[in-house]
Amino acid sequence: MKPKKKSDQERRIILGVETSCDDTSICLLEFNGTPKILSLNSYNQDFLLSKWGGVVPELAARSHVKAIPPLLEVCFREAQIGPDDVTEVAVTTHPGLMGSLLTGINLAKTFAMIKELPIVPVNHLFAHLEAIHLTEKVSYPYLGLLVSGGHTAFWWVKGPNEMEVLGTTLDDAAGEAFDKGGKLLGVGYPAGKIIDELAKDGNNKKYDFPISYLRDRPGKMSYSGLKTALRVKLAKMSKEEIQENLHDLCASYQEAIVQTLRVKAEEIIEKILQLKVRDFETPIVIGGGVACNSRLKTIMQERFKNVHVVNPLYCTDNAGMVANWASRVPELAVSFPECLGLDAQSRFVEKK
Ligand code: KG4
Ligand code: ZN
């Protein structure tokens, strides 16, 4: 690796790359003690995926290939810097869809090879939660709630790379519950944002959807029964009835998803951390796509004292969170040329 000038070491410019699922995102972030996003551009495949009602791995991977070059160009233009200014590359290496991850990793390696730069392999899940530092100062430890399309988990966070799982879903993730429910309701994909909007004019008490408390399994959640309950309910309604009551259906369905998270947060504080909810002043950080949900934010902020929600700009998959995480873990940078050996990992395996 080329020795860097002192001035370069102080001012890090990180090229962030995120392609773990269906969003292609590139970012240029300057780190000088605090992170500053110089440019962030993303391309989502929602229009493509709405046709299929979900992510099709092969289509997602091919779409990244097409989206990357223009995104790179726009990012450098907006940031008003050139490729020579970049001091390191950050790329999501896990977890995610293999084909999608590899597309981003190949871009990272190509860039690193041309400029002889190190690469920081980024943990997508940790990056979601740590995105809080892009806009707020939150100290460790904190209780992290990651709610996305692929994951729903509570973590005890002691540092950017020190997270211990306290609870998870046993089946569907919260975002998946939104998306699968939205498919049954025929509102479009991805459905979380649409249900959130429709629910604003709805009565969340009109329909009774089951909240799977799983009282004997602290921290454990299950969303698969909820989706089945919606299917059973809709089967008994005519198309007209569904349309007339769409707002109430969305509000009631969303309420069950959100209340499950509130109940599980209480349970984790009381049963796992053995503390009282009313005395719990440790920060609670909520990140991931579902953190954009307005009802979730309201419920959690009403119930708990010190709740921080990632800015909606950085909630759904984006390269800003990737570059930001890399800025916090410089010790994980793999120098050139060893970084060319980095690989993707589809699943996240917790360190023991
Ligand atoms: O974090 P993300 O971009 O992808 C994964 O890493 O999985 O999250 C995407 C998920 C989708 O399931 C989408 O429906 C959900 O976030 N989502 C929302 C909202 N905006 C996005 N869910 C509920 N309310 C929203 N406002
Ligand atoms: Zn994500």
Distances (CA, A) of 142 to 139, 149, 156: 7, 22, 6
The CATH architecture to which 139-309 belongs is 2-Layer Sandwich (3.30)
Q: Read off φ and ψ for residue 181, nearest 5 degrees.
A: -65, -40
Among 94, 223, 100, which Cα is nearest to 170's?
223
Task: Please tell me the number of the ligand nearest to residue 55's CA.
Answer: 1
* Segment 137-171, tens digit of pLDDT: 999 999 999 999 999 999 999 999 999 999 999 99
Q: Is pLDDT at 292 greater than 70 in this prediction?
A: yes
CA distance 256 to 298: 14
Is-contact 11 32, C-beta < 8 A?
Answer: yes
Q: Is pLDDT at 8 greater than 90 in this prediction?
A: no
CATH class of 12-131+316-341: alpha beta
CA distance 219 to 266: 9
pLDDT score of 12: 97
Which ranges in 188-333 belong to alpha helices (H)? 191-199, 224-235, 239-244, 246-267, 294-303, 319-328
* Segment 313-331, tens digit of pLDDT: 999 999 999 999 999 999 9
Give the model's confidence band at 131: pLDDT under 50 very low, under 70 low, under 90 confident, else very high. very high
Is 193's C-beta closer than 6 angstroms to any atom of ligand 1?
Answer: yes
CA distance 79 to 5: 21
| pLDDT (mean) for 80-95 | 97
pLDDT score of 212: 77
Q: Is pLDDT at 4 greater than 80 in this prediction?
A: no
pLDDT score of 349: 67
**Amino acid in position 167:** G
* Segment 10-43, tens digit of pLDDT: 789 999 999 999 899 999 999 999 999 999 999 9
Is 293's C-beta closer than 6 angstroms to any atom of ligand 1?
Answer: yes
| pLDDT (mean) for 86-98 | 97
In ligand 1, the atom with minimum distance to the C-alpha of 178 is: 14
Is 292's C-beta closer than 6 angstroms to any atom of ligand 1?
Answer: yes
Is 191's C-beta closer than 6 angstroms to any atom of ligand 1?
Answer: yes
In ligand 1, the atom with minimum distance to the C-alpha of 149 is: 7
Centre of ligand 1 to C-alpha 163, Å, is 22
Is-contact 285 310, C-beta < 8 A?
Answer: yes
Q: Give the domain ranges of the chain.
A: 12-131+316-341, 139-309
In this chain, the answer to whether the domains covering 12-131+316-341 and 139-309 adopt an identical fold is yes
| pLDDT (mean) for 259-267 | 96
pLDDT score of 304: 98
Centre of ligand 1 to C-alpha 36, Å, is 24
CA distance 34 to 48: 37
Bridge partners, residue 146, by sequence = 153, 287
Task: Please tell me the number of the ligand nearest to residue 183's CA.
Answer: 1
Q: Is pLDDT at 210 greater than 90 in this prediction?
A: no
Q: Is pLDDT at 3 greater than 60 in this prediction?
A: no
In ligand 1, the atom with minimum distance to the C-alpha of 294 is: 26
Centre of ligand 1 to C-alpha 290, Å, is 4
Is 296's C-beta closer than 6 angstroms to any atom of ligand 1?
Answer: no
Q: Which of 38-52, 224-238, 273-287 is least confident? A: 38-52
Task: Please tell me the number of the ligand nearest to residue 310's CA.
Answer: 1
Is 317's C-beta closer than 6 angstroms to any atom of ligand 1?
Answer: yes
